């Protein structure tokens, strides 16, 4: 079956060693996704077309808009995407620019989008995580994973990044089990979107997250860390670095994070016991 990439063809001028060559190249698409919950728009996400239902599910839970996925009744597409994706949309029904989520009464937390504002105000420029009013529950998982298994994950993720090899311009997020088996890899123009699509894939299929590892290509900011905490993921890894606030949240709420996962090296920042250290 022919692969329908979410890309468009552009003519470019490549300069290399003083030589100029005019040629065609592939550029990844970026479209707005309007997310509605119980009839109200809650977000517009700039994302790579595809896996809209997974993105909506992951976003609602990881951002705390819905505390429990059991409160989600239905998720459905509405609308079409940009013209470049119409052929792919006809073939796979993927390119949609609006998703409607129906949540059980009482399951929606509209105040969740204001929590970052409260966090900033509480910190007055220097956030005290121990005093921040963030309704997060500590990660309870007692998962322990062999260090050698973790060190092999970056190579496994790189091998699965097909769109990155085809066109570049995308982040990746991958979920693995404790034995290092790749469960799902998602690529997107946004690192947050890639994470939400990967975890949304599991939420929609009833795959538990409390015994999984999440590997990201981008930095581990506090937003990425709080996503993992809300989802109950015990181990969050990155090819890049964490931020200081991300490390503070991970330490406070029991999340193991490690950065610079490349080849045979990594740097563990919090709760090393899950990697057999400390």
Over residues 84-116, the pLDDT tens digits come to: 444 444 444 444 799 999 999 889 887 776 665
13-54 pLDDT, tens digit per residue, is 999 998 999 999 999 999 999 999 999 999 999 999 999 999
The pTM (predicted TM-score) of the whole model is 0.89
230-258 pLDDT, tens digit per residue, is 999 999 999 999 999 999 999 999 999 99
Is pLDDT at 221 greater than 90 in this prediction?
A: yes
pLDDT score of 55: 97
Task: Taking residues 186-192, report their average pLDDT.
Answer: 96
Structure tokens at 112: 């969740």
Phi, psi of 230 (to 5 degrees): -60, -35
* CATH entry 3.40.140.10 includes domain 136-275: yes
pLDDT, averaged across the chain: 88
From the list 124, 186, 202, 216, the catalytic residue is 124
Q: How far is CA 95 from CA 47, 107, 141, 202, in A?
A: 11, 28, 36, 21
Helices 244-252, 222-231: axis angle to 10 degrees equals 20
Task: For residue 257, list its beta bridge partners.
Answer: 236
Give domain limits for the chain. Answer: 31-111, 136-275
| Catalytic-residue membership of 186 | no
Percent with pLDDT over 90 in the chain: 76
* 96, 79 contact by CB (below 8 A): yes
More confident: 83 or 136:
136
Is pLDDT at 60 greater than 90 in this prediction?
A: yes
Task: Taking residues 185-211, report their average pLDDT.
Answer: 97
What span, in angstroms and rounded, lies between the C-alpha atoms of 263 and 236? 17
Structure tokens at 261: 């996962």
Identify the CATH assignment for 31-111 out of 3.10.20.10, 3.40.1260.10, 3.40.1710.10, 1.10.3720.10.
3.10.20.10
């Amino acid at each position: 079956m022919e692969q329908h990439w979410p890309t468009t063809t552009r003519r470019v001028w490549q300069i290399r060693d003083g030589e100029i060559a005019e040629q065609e190249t592939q550029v990844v698409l970026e479209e707005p996704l309007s997310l509605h919950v119980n009839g109200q728009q809650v977000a517009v996400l700039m994302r790579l077309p595809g896996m809209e239902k997974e993105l909506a599910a992951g976003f609602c839970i990881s951002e705390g808009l819905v505390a429990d996925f059991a409160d989600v009744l239905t998720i459905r597409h509405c609308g079409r995407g940009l013209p470049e994706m119409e052929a792919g949309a006809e073939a796979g029904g993927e390119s949609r620019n609006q998703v409607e989520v129906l949540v059980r009464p009482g399951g929606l937390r509209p105040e969740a989008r204001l929590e970052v504002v409260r966090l900033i105000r509480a910190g007055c420029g220097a956030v005290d995580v121990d005093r921040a009013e963030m309704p997060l529950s500590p990660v309870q998982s007692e998962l322990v994973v062999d260090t050698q298994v973790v060190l092999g994950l970056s190579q496994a993720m790189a091998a699965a990044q097909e769109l990155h090899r085809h066109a570049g311009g995308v982040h990746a997020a991958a979920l693995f089990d404790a034995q290092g088996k790749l469960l799902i890899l998602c690529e997107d123009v946004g690192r947050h979107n890639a994470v939400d699509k990967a975890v949304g894939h599991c939420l929609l299929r009833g795959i538990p997250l409390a015994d999984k590892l999440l590997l990201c290509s981008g930095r581990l900011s506090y937003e990425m860390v709080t996503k993992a905490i809300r989802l109950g993921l015990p181990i969050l890894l990155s090819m890049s670095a964490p931020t200081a606030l991300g490390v503070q949240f991970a330490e406070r709420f029991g999340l193991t994070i490690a950065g610079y996962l490349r080849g045979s090296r990594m740097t563990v920042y919090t709760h090393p016991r899950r990697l057999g250290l400390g």
